[in-house]
Structures are given as structure tokens and as C-alpha cells.
Chain A
């Protein structure tokens, strides 16, 4: 079945360093969503990418969708302690079902 693989599983950075997490699918995705879960919290929607090669920015966060729509990345520039949490990518199975396959997530720790 379709799987969404996410790497790395853990990332520890010092405040001010950059951070990137990668998401890869075995099949073409119609869209990909990114969520953030703070420690002790629930996943919160960050963004959705739909178009091949799409790049979207939210302040220090840059999201990319690959040309083949099989991979995506989230890059955070100059991390802050508020960036701590687990970042998940999620891709659908088919275009009509609402089911999302979530990656295992990348747990980001930021040292002050």
C-alpha cells in the first residue's frame, strides 16, 4: 500500500540553526499537507501543497512539493525555541477519499 516516509525521525539543533525534514511517497500525491504537533498538544494544520514544484513560505518556514509530486520538504530558517515539536507530512490515498497517510513525523528539539 501507499506509504509516506519521513526523515529524519529526530533532529536536534541549536537555536539559530536551520532545519529540514523530508517526506517521500511511493506514489504520486494529489496534494500534501503539513502539520505541527507541539509537545503535549494536538496536530495543527500548517499548509497544503497541490501543484508540481510548488513552493510556499510562512515567515521562516518554506514548504516545497517535488516536480513529480512524490516528495516534499519543510525547511525552517534560523530555528527558535518556539519551533519545538513534531512535524508531520500527510498525503491522501486517491483524490476522493479524505483519508490521509501521515508520515512518522520529525521531532525537532531546539537548544537555546
Chain B
């Protein structure tokens, strides 16, 4: 158990819909990362937050947005969903913002768009 929690575990929704994925980092960790993992694209970095502020942005679509709240939990919002958005979404956390900190991954949310 990494100490990172993600909800829900599974999500099935239709195209055009909007969903929210939730992540609680390990106790004491200030940085949260979101990744998308699909079979053909590997593990893709989406966005990083550190202590409530956006820190780094990856290939995150404009239809996707995220935020980190004062209690450090984070949410990833996916809207106008398309079939190609079906993937495993991981949240990870680390103690601080730098790249030398190991990242602890949550169990993931499997999103299926039908």
C-alpha cells in the first residue's frame, strides 16, 4: 500500500460526459502528479501540482483540468469524453516538487468511455 488513495476504482461513462477523478496523496506529501496510461501510449504525464499550485504541465488536453485543494487532495476533471480517453489514470505523490523525489503511485482509476 503506497498510502495514495484514488477514487473511484472503475468508471464507465458515455461519450460527451464529464467525470471527476479524486486523489489523496500520502500523508505529508505536497506534490501530486497525474498520469494517463494506455496500451499504445505508455505512461503519459499530464500535470503536477505542488502545495496547491500548478507546477508542471504535460500533454494534458484542454478538455481536461485539475486542481489541488488546501487539504492537498487533488481532482482531475475530464469533460466532453471521447472513446480515446479510455485509459488507466494514476495519481502519484512525492514529498516535494523536485525530480529527485521518488513518486508514490495510487492504485489508479480505470476509465471506460462507451
Residues of A within 8 A of B (CB): 30-31, 33, 35, 41-45, 48, 50, 88, 92-105
Minimum CB–CB distance from B43 to chain A (whole Å) comes to 4
Q: Please, could you name 25 A-B residue pairs with CB atoms under 8 Å apart, sorted by A? A: A30-B100, A31-B100, A33-B102, A35-B105, A41-B107, A42-B107, A43-B43, A43-B105, A44-B105, A88-B43, A92-B99, A94-B99, A95-B100, A96-B98, A98-B31, A98-B56, A98-B97, A98-B98, A98-B101, A99-B33, A99-B45, A99-B48, A99-B58, A100-B45, A100-B103
Q: Which residue of B lies closest to A41 (CB)?
A: B107
* B contact residues around A95 at 8 Å (CB): 98-100
Q: Which residue of A lies closest to B43 (CB)?
A: A102
B18 at the A interface (CB under 8 A): no
Q: Which residue of A lies closest to B44 (CB)?
A: A102
CA–CA, A104 and B44, complex, Å = 9
Q: Which residue of A lies closest to B40 (CB)?
A: A104
Q: In the complex, which of the residues A92, A98, A99 has the most CB atoms of chain B within 10 Å of its own CB atom?
A: A98
Minimum CB–CB distance from B72 to chain A (whole Å) comes to 15
* A contact residues around B48 at 8 Å (CB): 97-99
Give 5 closest A-B pairs by Cβ, nearest first.
A92-B99, A42-B105, A45-B102, A102-B43, A99-B56
B99 near A50 with CB under 8 A, answer no
* A contact residues around B101 at 8 Å (CB): 98
CA–CA, A45 and B106, complex, Å = 12
- Tally A-B pairs: CB < 8 A: 74
Q: Supply 19 further A-B pairs (C-beta < 8 A) apart from A45-B102, A96-B99, A104-B42.
A: A30-B99, A42-B107, A43-B92, A43-B103, A44-B2, A48-B100, A48-B102, A92-B100, A95-B99, A96-B98, A97-B97, A98-B48, A98-B96, A99-B45, A100-B45, A100-B103, A102-B42, A102-B45, A105-B43
Quick one: CB contact mask for B78-114 with A, threshold 8 Å, 1 for yes?
0000000000001010101111111111111000000
* A contact residues around B92 at 8 Å (CB): 43
* B contact residues around A97 at 8 Å (CB): 48, 55-56, 97-99
A45 near B103 with CB under 8 A, answer yes
